[in-house]
């Protein structure tokens, strides 16, 4: 079972840093997340599931250059985090109270 912080959909931010860089994720001027990443590709997967709308991402490189881009997020019911799968499983035996039932159990996915 997943911890509460990882249940449900949350946006994922990915990009490429040319050098060691500071990544700042903001929304409407408020800082939501800030971290330092090494050079190369990065993925930020631990944003809150309450974050919706457009996110502004700023990558401040060690050499002073700045990359900016936006990430759109959505809140659709039953949407899962990237790489996660949600499923349900039910198993049982039909019961007929008037006669005995000798057929095998059934399974529903």
Residues in the chain: 109
SS3 category, 17: strand
Scanning the structure block, which residue is given the tokens 């490189």?
Answer: 61
What digits encode the pLDDT tens for the residues 26-58? 999 999 999 999 999 999 988 877 778 899 999
What digits encode the pLDDT tens for the residues 57-81? 999 999 999 999 999 887 666 666 6
Domain ranges, ordered by start, for the chain? 4-83
**Whole-number Cα distances in Å, 83 to 39, 41, 89, 98:** 23, 17, 20, 47
Q: Could you tell me which CATH class the domain 4-83 is placed in?
A: mainly beta
pTM attached to this predicted model: 0.66
Rounded CA-CA distance 49/84 in Å is 14
């Amino acid at each position: 079972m997943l911890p509460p912080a990882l249940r449900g959909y949350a946006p994922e931010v990915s990009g490429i840093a040319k050098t060691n860089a500071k990544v700042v994720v903001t929304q409407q001027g408020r800082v939501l997340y800030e971290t330092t990443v090494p050079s190369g590709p990065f993925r930020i997967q631990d944003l809150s599931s309450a974050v919706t709308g457009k996110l502004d991402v700023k990558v401040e490189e060690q050499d002073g250059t700045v990359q900016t881009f936006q990430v759109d997020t959505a809140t659709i019911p039953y949407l899962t985090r990237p790489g996660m799968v949600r499923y349900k499983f039910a198993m049982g035996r039909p019961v007929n109270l008037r006669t005995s039932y000798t057929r095998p159990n059934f399974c529903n996915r």
